[in-house]
Amino acid sequence: MQWRNSSSNYGLVSIAMHWLVAFVVFGLFGLGYWMMGLDYYSNWYRTAPDIHKSVGILLFALMSLRVLWRFANPLPAALPSHGTLTRVASKAGHLLLYLGLFVLMLSGYLISTADGRPISVFGLFEVPATLTSIPRQEDVAGTLHHYLAWGLVIFATLHGLAALKHHFIDRDSTLKRMFGRA
Domains (range + CATH), the chain? 12-177 (1.20.950)
CA distances to 30, 45, 90, 152 from 1, in Å: 32, 44, 24, 30
pTM for this predicted structure: 0.94
DSSP one-letter string for 69-136: HHHHSPPPPPPTT--HHHHHHHHHHHHHHHHHHHHHHHHHHHHHTTTSPPEEETTTEEE------STT
User: What is the rounded average pLDDT of the residues 79-102?
Assistant: 94
Of the candidates 172, 148, 143, 179, the one whose C-alpha atom is nearest the C-alpha of residue 78 is: 172
Kindly indicate the confidence band of residue 13, based on its pLDDT and cuts at 50, 70 and 90: very high
Using a pLDDT cut of 90, give the percent of the chain over it.
Answer: 87
Contact (Cβ atoms closer than 8 angstroms) between residue 24 and residue 7 = no
> CB under 8 Å to 135, separation ≥6 — which residues?
none
User: What is the rounded average pLDDT of the residues 155-180?
Assistant: 94
> Across all residues in the chain, what is the average pLDDT?
95
Amino acid at 44: W
> CB under 8 Å to 23, separation ≥6 — which residues?
none
Phi and psi for 121 in degrees, rounded to 5? -105, 95
How far is Cα 140 from Cα 9, in angstroms, rounded to an integer?
42
Q: Which long-range contacts (CB under 8 A, 24 or more apart) does 64-72 make?
A: 65/17, 66/17, 66/21, 67/98, 69/13, 69/14, 69/17, 70/14
For 37-88, the pLDDT digits (tens) are 999 999 999 999 999 999 999 999 999 999 999 999 988 988 888 899 999 9
For 129-160, the pLDDT digits (tens) are 999 989 999 999 999 999 999 999 999 999 99
